[in-house]
Each structure stands twice: as structure tokens, then as C-alpha cells.
Structure 1
């Protein structure tokens, strides 16, 4: 950090020669290391990953074009790559997470290319340092979901639009090439349309202001190919999802959409402010630090480079507009793809704050601000060197049960771990008749939490297990201590606990209910 602060001092240049050139690559290498460590941990699939993995594993390539089971949705291009990975490498976690990892790694280099276009050399290491260590970007680089690839594709789309718009002359071959690239990306990422539309509209506006009428015609010709691709994509694949009222209701309740037109303005403040908490991943007090830096970064680029500011903000504005129209939720991981554009402004603002403080003889205050901004990302990323993140480690739990169960033992799966268990069941030779999935929790009917009706259902379901030794497998248990507590309490009434095996987010208990 001291080295970085010296490189940012007013009136000083970045270290000369090899050090100046190597500093960005040091940041990129650190980001690469953190992503590889988390990927190499090979943690068990958690519930959300397992539901998508079951679709990928149990469907053919053509069947992945149809609406997915278990209330899942993912871009068809992503699904095809995932299916190809397990066909070539086998059905295991490493294969399923390979494309997200590749996307996370590619994002580091693509972000470098973006940041170089918008930031000075003295701000670049700060931006790369943040992007390399933000916990959400590291985590989703080893998650069997499309969010890491959304980030990489958003960066690639932005670079394509900006590169095309800055060409002195746009030839017919370039229109075809860039038109084809953008058209293909739409099938690999749902939210990339907001990047293409937002930045595309911005480049047309910038060209109009600069009286570049010929360029506008070439840009619109390219963008028309993207529009045709999106129309086809929407008609074939997105239309069935857009009619899902349950998704709209859910995202209104979670703040992804404004509840009504009357609440649009307060919702905008809430949605933008929450973005710095999730998906950026700053704890709430430090999210305020990042938000302040963002504000200074906005002001700085507004004064120095309004075109760059517009191009950076246009994907964010397009996504907010879609959320206001209730077409796409501005909510947590679903807007992770906007992280690169916001990170650039945070870095610009943080350096501006440091310079302003230093100009007043308060360099210590500017250094403290930078330290607060980097504290949590660096701390969480560094912790991976000691121990990777675990979530719901059901795989070793199932393995323990398999190694210790006796003939005649029943296996009862707590219903929140159903899809994880089903994914691993085939690996350990279980057929559906070898286990019992617990009774549903009725959350879709009476809301989240333990109701009396649910409690009665749990007790009646467990009472049917009497007369045998029973392995109870728990997973996906965060924030449901009332349910798991009730299950264990009922089992303790029915028999004796004789064994237990615990791992992060999952465990198994053996009860003798034969008496």
C-alpha cells in the first residue's frame, strides 16, 4: 500500500521503466491467483448451482433450448458451453465451473483494456487492484451460474462498441464482423443487451454532437444486426420467461423493481446505494466509502472526459430503465455485470480524494481513505490463501453416510437439500428408491419462516420413519435454524442420536428409531 501511495503522490509519476509496466500485471496476477485458489478448492455444489446443474446434466443439447426446470433461467449459449464441458471432461464440479473460471480470468484482461481507455496511468493500478480483489468477482468465477460470464461478455461488448465508434472509417466488412460478434454475444448473456443498447445509443449521440453523420449510418447498420438477433432471441427463448408472474412478484418484494410508479425516485436511491453492498460486496459502512469515491469519480470524469463518463454509465442507466419498466431486476448478482463500469469510477474518485487531501497537507487522510476502500476486498481475498470459501459441503457428508451406513438404514434428506442430494446421488450409486426427500416447507404458500402448519407437516413426516435406523442429511440450512431445530427436536423425542458428521453448511445425523 505504501508503494501504491507513493506512486499516486501529486506531482510524481508512476515508477519508471519495468516497474511502471509491471504494476498492472502484478494486480492481474493477484486476481488470477485468487480465482484459481477458489476454483481449486472444488467445493460442493450448493443448492442454486445444483438446480442448474441438474438441468445441464439431465437434458440433451436441444432440450436446453426449452424452459428449464426448478425455476431456473440461463442464457442458451452458456448452457451449451456447460453441456459441452461435461460431455468432454466428465460430469464433475471442475468441468461445470471451467467456463465461469475462464470468464473470470478473461475479465481481468478485458477490464485492463477498458480501464486504459478511461483512466490515467496513476489511477489504473487502483482500478485493477479493486477489480482483482472484489469478493463477488472472485466468488462467481467458481460458481456454476452465468454471472461471471455476464461480466466478461459485458466488458467485451463495451469494448466492441467503443472500438467500432472510434474508427475513422467503418467499412462494410467491419459492419458485418462487429454486427456478427454482437449478435452472438446476445445468446450468451441476458443482460448484455443493456450494454450494447446503452453504449450503442451513447456512441450515436456522441457522433451526432460531433457532426459525424456518415459514422452514425455505419453504427446504425451494425446495431440493426444486433437488434435482429435480440428479436429472434427474445421470441424463441425470453418470451416464456417474461410471462412468469412469480418472478416479477419476487423481484418486486426483493427490491429489484420499484413497487409502483410513486416510488421510482426513492427506489432509484435505494437500488444504486444497495449496489455497493451487493453485488460489489462492501460491508455497509465501507459501502459508503465506495459510494463517496464513486461520486468523486463521476465529478472528475464529468470535468475531464464526458464522453468516457457517458459510455461508462450508459449500461447502468439502461439497466435501471429496464428495472423501472419491470423488464429486468436491478438486484444483487443479476447486476454483477455492471461491476466493471462502477469500479472505474470508484478508482478515479479514490485517487482524486487522495490528491485533494494531499494538496491540503492531509496526505494521511487520503491514504486512510484508500486503506478503507481496499481493506475489505484485500482482507477477504488474502484470506483465500489460508482457506478458500466454503458454502454447503454436502459431498463429504454424503460420502460419510455411504461409508458408514448399514444394510436397512434409511436415508432422509431435509427438503432444502433436495437438489444437491439428487445431483450427487448418481455419483454414489443411489436410485430414487434408496432415499426419502422430506416434506415441502410450504414457503410458496405461507411465506418464508416456520408456520404451525409447516411444523405439523414436519412432525408427521418424521413420525413415519419410526422402526429403523435413519440418516438425516441437512443442507442449504442458512437462516432456517427454526426448521432444523424442530426436526432435530422431534427426532430426539422419537429415538437416540448415535452419530453425526458436520461440514460447513451441511451435516448428517444418525438416529436409532427402532424402539
Structure 2
């Protein structure tokens, strides 16, 4: 025992600390992988947006995926091609469709760890990893048939390239890897260009200010390859997506664009809201990460100014794209920015700890701040480990209806459940003609809510069911409009008698007798 203590005392504190922090970091990463696997294996139903994209992936050929997608969907071509390949290799199922998002999310854990080691002091790394592992959006999109977890992984990779370009000596093969990596990245992530543009602009300005002609030539050569790749993608795919009047109108209604080029307050509000959505902090504690992140950026200004510019440049370029009405700054579409603000929060946390740990009273304050920051991701991750997230469990509804359906029963599918029902229809033995698809809503024309002309269309649609003895009404994705479900059920109750009810999270089945 005494020998062990003596050996322990001989260990250099710096080596012991580094060894311990590395082990802690990998434990956190391992926990993050476990939580993501649990959610993936839970295999919840595809919800509305997932099903809409899945129908494009499943029903189109590789060449047809190059064309504008149906159902107002948009996704990077590289992402679509990998998704199509996964379906062909592993079958048309949720596991195949969600495999690439899961792999991207797990890869981003290691990429983020690598980036954090390049940007932060060692004690701040576990803080950054804990935030990254457990934040709600990052957990959720790890098992979502959408490109947002890939956006995060690609964004981290782009920032890592930016940090690597700061090296005094860069080998030719490294430059080739950076050029090819960035050129490929834009095909897998729409916002990748904002990260690469920010990185490129910073290094061009830095090379010009330092009068470093060699560095300037290198950066211009690498970024030119990125630009050529992006230009090819734009004319092949992004141009059509950017010209979608429906998508533009949809995001404008959500204040994802400023009202004018002079709407300076919009930039401030985007920064403020970023910490609530997608970073996931809620009122009133959201003020803590906002201030701590600001402290982290100030700390980086004095400690590693070049790192600060690389981390905030994607945010600034994305704001510029918003002002130009080219990219909506809203919610899941800016989840790719979260790693950079997480690094800012981690830097600020350690900076505050260094300033407060000198006496007992201030140390308590510093620990309280860090605890408040880490409580949200730790609680999220732990909760998801015990209770995986559900959203719109239409599979259970369709299974119940199929089991209890009698010959002659009529199925009426609420219009917002169309994509989900169509995706799962064949799996439960339904074909065209076996069900009635409800009317199209008027949201495309009159925005959110239920206008009187839309409600009149609902009533006309329901009135055609009068006189039918057994009608199954399947609802899903109905939380889109407040009180819509209650209004529909009230009208159906006035038409006939409710015989059976089956409800699960986000999806419902009602059996009516309208005779």
C-alpha cells in the first residue's frame, strides 16, 4: 500500500491530469454512443417529414434523385445517394434509412473531440464533450431520416480543416486532402459552404495581413477547388431548391429571414435564440450559456485569436446568407453551428473557473455555473437512455386498425398523415383504393392555422362519409395547428357515434358509425 502511494506521488501532475482527462473524455464519448444506439434500436415510426423524404428515396432511382424532390423536400445529393444505397443493401426499413444519420452522429463525437483538443485547454474538453453528447437536438437527429446530423459532422470537419491550415508547415498530401475533403463536403451538407467560406475568408485575410504570399497562394488554391465543386452542385441541384417559392414563403413566416437589409436587430435575436433552439437551453437559465459563451469568445480573443475567428466565421456567413434571402436562419437548419457555440461555452466555463477557484466563495459560484450548464445535457442523455423519444407512432395505429378491421370498413386518412400512411401502407397490406386520402390542406396558400375556407373543405370531405356504418379515421401529425384535432372530433361526433378509440403518442385511430 505504501509503495503504491509513493509511486502515485512520483507521477507528474501534468501527465496524471492529461491521462485522467483523456479517460474521462472517452467515457463521455462511449456514453454518447450508447445513448444514440438505444434511440436508434428503439425504432420509432417515421414522422411526417421523415416519411416525405423516405418516399422520395425509396420510390426514385439514383438519376431521379438529381431532380427536385416531391412533397417540398430538399436534401444534399450525397446524402440522398448514400440513403438510396442503404435501402438497396439493407432493405426498405427504418433501420436502413436511419443508418447514415447514426453513423454521422457517432463520427461527429470523435471529430468534435479532435477539434476540441485543437481549440481548448485540456480541462475544458470534458465540459465541451458533455454538452455535445447530451444536447437534445444532437441526440434526436442521430436517428432521424434527415441530413442534420451529417451537417454537424461536416461542419466540424470543415472547422478542423480551417484550424489545420494554421500550421506553419503543411505537407502537399495534406493540402490535397483538405481540398478534396472540402470539395466532397458540399455535396453532403448544404451549409458546409458557410463553414468553408468562413474558413477561406479568414485565411485569405490573415495571409494578406501577414503579407505571407506563400500561404495566400495555398489558401486560394484550396478554396478555388471548393468553389468549383460548389458551383457545380449549385447549377445541378441547389438552384432549383433556392427557387422554391413555397419553401421561401414557409421560412419567411418563421422570421428565418430579416425583414430588410437594415434589420440589424435580427442578427442579435438570432444569436439570442440560438441558445434555446437548437442548443436546447430553456428559460430562465438560458441567460447562463449566453453569457458564458460570450466569456469564452473573449477568452479566445486573448488566448487563441485565430481559433476564435474560425469558430465564429460560419455564424457570420450564415447571417449574411440570411440577409441575402439565400438560407433560412432557423432551428434545425442551423444545428450545424452548435459545435462552435459549445466550444465557446466550454472555453467560457473553464475561464470562469480559473477566475473563481482562488477562494472558497467564488469557487462555489464557479461550480454552480458549470453545474447549471451541464445539468441540461446530462439530464437529456440520461432520460433518453431510459425512455427513448417518440413522436408520431403511426405504426402502432395501423397495426391496431388492421387487426380490428372488418370486411366493408372504410379507412379515412387525415391529410397531414398522408406521407406516413403511404410509406407504411404496403407493409400493412394496404393498396391504393383500400383507403380514402383526406383533402389537401390550404396551408400552402393561407399559412398556418385553419382558415374558414379550409374548414369548409374539411366539412365537405367529412360529409361524404355520412351513412357509412364503420369508418376508421386515422390522424397523425395533427399538432401542427392548435385545436384542430378537437375541432375535427367535435364535428365527427355530431355526425355519428364513436365506437372505438386507439391512441399512441402523436397518432390516433377513431372508429365511427355514421349510419
TM-score, L = length of structure 2: 0.94
Distance in 2 (alpha carbons) for counterparts of 1:72 and 1:479: 17
Asked whether 1:125 is paired with 2:143, we answer: no
Is 2:72–2:246's contact at 8 Å kept on the other side of the alignment?
no
Evaluate the alpha carbon distance shift between residue 50 and residue 329 of structure 1 in structure 2; reply closer, same or farther with a 3 A threshold.
same
Asked whether 1:339 is paired with 2:338, we answer: yes
**Aligned twin of 1:138:** 139
Is 2:21–2:126's contact at 8 Å kept on the other side of the alignment?
no
Question: Bigger CA drift: 490-499 or 192-201?
Answer: 490-499
- The offset of 1:178, in angstroms, is 2.7
Output aligned runs, 1:441-460, within 5 Å. 441-460=441-460
Question: Bigger CA drift: 79-88 or 30-39?
Answer: 30-39
Output aligned runs, 1:258-297, within 5 Å. 258-263=258-263, 265-297=264-296
Q: Any runs of at least 4 consecutive aligned residues in structure 1 with deviations exceeding 4 A, and if so which?
A: 12-15
**Aligned twin of 1:376:** 376
**Aligned twin of 1:3:** none
Asked whether 1:349 is paired with 2:348, we answer: yes
Question: Bigger CA drift: 461-470 or 443-452?
Answer: 443-452
Question: Bigger CA drift: 449-458 or 195-204?
Answer: 449-458
Evaluate the alpha carbon distance shift between residue 382 and residue 74 of structure 1 in structure 2; reply closer, same or farther with a 3 A threshold.
same
Distance in 2 (alpha carbons) for counterparts of 1:118 and 1:17: 16
**Aligned twin of 1:39:** 40
Is 2:131–2:374's contact at 8 Å kept on the other side of the alignment?
yes
What secondary structure is seen at the aligned counterpart in 2 of 1:434? Answer: coil
**Aligned twin of 1:103:** 104
Is 1:450–1:482's contact at 8 Å kept on the other side of the alignment?
no
- The offset of 1:454, in angstroms, is 2.3
Question: Bigger CA drift: 452-461 or 400-409?
Answer: 452-461
Distance in 1 (alpha carbons) for counterparts of 2:512 and 2:16: 65
Partner deviation per Cα, 1:374-433 (whole Å, 9 max, x = no partner): 222211211112211100000111011111100100000111111111110111121121
Partner deviation per Cα, 1:326-367 (whole Å, 9 max, x = no partner): 111111111111111111001111222233233353211111
What secondary structure is seen at the aligned counterpart in 2 of 1:129? Answer: helix
Output aligned runs, 1:52-451, within 5 Å. 52-166=53-167, 168-171=169-172, 173-263=173-263, 265-360=264-359, 361-451=361-451
Distance in 1 (alpha carbons) for counterparts of 2:86 and 2:357: 52
Question: Bigger CA drift: 463-472 or 357-366?
Answer: 357-366
- The offset of 1:56, in angstroms, is 0.4
Distance in 1 (alpha carbons) for counterparts of 2:49 and 2:277: 17
- The offset of 1:481, in angstroms, is 4.7
Aligned residues, how many? Answer: 501
- The offset of 1:34, in angstroms, is 1.3
Distance in 2 (alpha carbons) for counterparts of 1:250 and 1:434: 33
- The offset of 1:144, in angstroms, is 0.3
Unaligned ranges ≥5, structure 2: 1-12
Unaligned ranges ≥5, structure 1: 1-11
What secondary structure is seen at the aligned counterpart in 2 of 1:284? Answer: coil
**Aligned twin of 1:9:** none
**Aligned twin of 1:503:** 504
Is 2:448–2:481's contact at 8 Å kept on the other side of the alignment?
no
Distance in 2 (alpha carbons) for counterparts of 1:37 and 1:364: 35
TM-score, L = length of structure 1: 0.94
Question: Bigger CA drift: 16-25 or 362-371?
Answer: 16-25
What secondary structure is seen at the aligned counterpart in 1 of 2:471? Answer: strand
Distance in 2 (alpha carbons) for counterparts of 1:230 and 1:477: 38
